Each structure stands twice: as C-alpha cells, then as structure tokens.
Amino acid sequence: MRSIPANVFRLVAAIICALVLAACATAPKHNPLATWVPSPNYNARKAMLIVVHYTEQHSVQASLDTLRSENSQGPVSAHYLIGADGHIYQLVADEARAWHAGPGRWGTITDPNSASIGIELDNDGVSPFATAQINSLLTLLADLTERLSIPRTQVIGHEDLAPTRKTDPGPRFPWERLAEAGYGRWPHGELVAPPPSFDAWAALARIGYALDDRAAALHAFHDHFRGGEGEALDDTDARILYALTKGD
C-alpha cells in the first residue's frame, strides 16, 4: 500500500483541525453544572434578571417534555430546570432568549424574556421545596450572577413580574433563605416605622412592581415577603418597604 505524501497528510490534518475548531466555535455554550437537554425554543439576548418559577407538574420528565414543546400561546422553554433531588438541567444557552416569562414588567424591564434567565423548579405548586433543590439553586445563582454579571438583587419570582397572571414560585418559596445567601431583596435588621412622608406605593414601584393592578401587585408582594399573609397595604408592609428602599 502506498504511503500518503507528507504534504497531503499535513493538508488533510489541517482541514480536519479547522473543521473541529469551527464546530467548537459554533456549538452552543452550556453550563458544566447542568445536564444539557437542548430546547429549540430560544433566540439571542443579554440577561439582567433571574426569574424563579415552579413547574406545577409532577415529574422532571414531564417538565422536560413541556419545556421543549409548545402550548396554545406558542413555544415554551426555560434556561434551567432543577429537580427535587437537586439535579440541574440546562435547556437553553445562557446567552439565548428562552420563552419562560411571557408578558410582564419589572422596573424598567418590559420584555422579561429578552432580559432574564429562567429557572424552573420541579414542584407541584403546593409541596415544600426540597432542601437539595434549594441548595442547587443557590449554587446555580452563584454561578450565574458572577459569570453573567447579573446583580444579586435581581432575583425575583414569576409572580413578581406578572402578578395578574402568575402565582409561582408562591408563598412557600424560601426567599429569606436566598437572601441570607445574598440573593434577591429582603428587609434586614429591625423593622421600624417610616417617616410620615413615606409613600409605600411609590416604594413598591421603586423595588420593581408594576402598579397597573395594585391589588395584584400587593398580593405578589405579600407572597414574596410575608408568606402570603396580609390583604390591604398595612403598617407591616410600610415597614418592610421602608427597610427595602431606605438605602436606595
């Protein structure tokens, strides 16, 4: 058998190397913390916000199927899904736009999908969140906020940005535990009465809530900061809002 000339061998090797490098350059980046289960439902954008959801389903597999499909409103996806056992799945690359939030607003962000990372938690909406799941969420938040330069305060729930439509992750979600680790907003120290000039509704808007439907916004605030307690805007709300905004 004739040997391959050295110059031909080098040319073939160079072509193979170039093809491998090109494939690596065009391959989607994904997080080594997670199992990559790609969804086709995304487009490109830059994240400034992290939105936490619950799946309201009864298994990881059902949620993986849903997050790679579509419903009557169109395609459905999220960047990450965390199982009750703490396993992290990634469905959409961080730099791409997933379809997890729908219409809503948080502060000046009016297109949440274009500006956020969506994290789904495998939870039926009524059960407590598993310890392993929250531990993995904290690990993932540490990675995302550092690597993508997302402010740690910009971790919210789906209900916060869409209070007229959504209830997840609900009043059972451990926001205080996330705050102890440095994620999201939470009142620290003793709650004190604000000065007479303090406008609690303006403070609610300042931390991000849209006031188009004040009752819905207040309900979302109560789920997030008071575990679902409270009906009308009261003195406890004013103390919490003052603590959240007095350093702004």
Catalytic residue among 56, 70, 95, 120: 120
Radius of gyration from C-alpha coordinates of the chain: 22
> Edge-to-edge strand order for the sheet containing 155-157?
35-36, 88-90, 80-82, 116-121, 49-54, 155-157
Which residues face 54 on adjacent strands? Answer: 121
Distance CA 18, CA 5 (A): 20
Closest to 46 measured CA to CA, from 142, 154, 178, 134:
154
Residue 81's SS3 state is strand
Report the candidate in 159, 160, 242, 243 with the shortest Cα–Cα distance to residue 202: 242
Beta-bridge partners for 119 = 52, 80
**120: annotated active-site residue:** yes
Residues designated as active site? 120
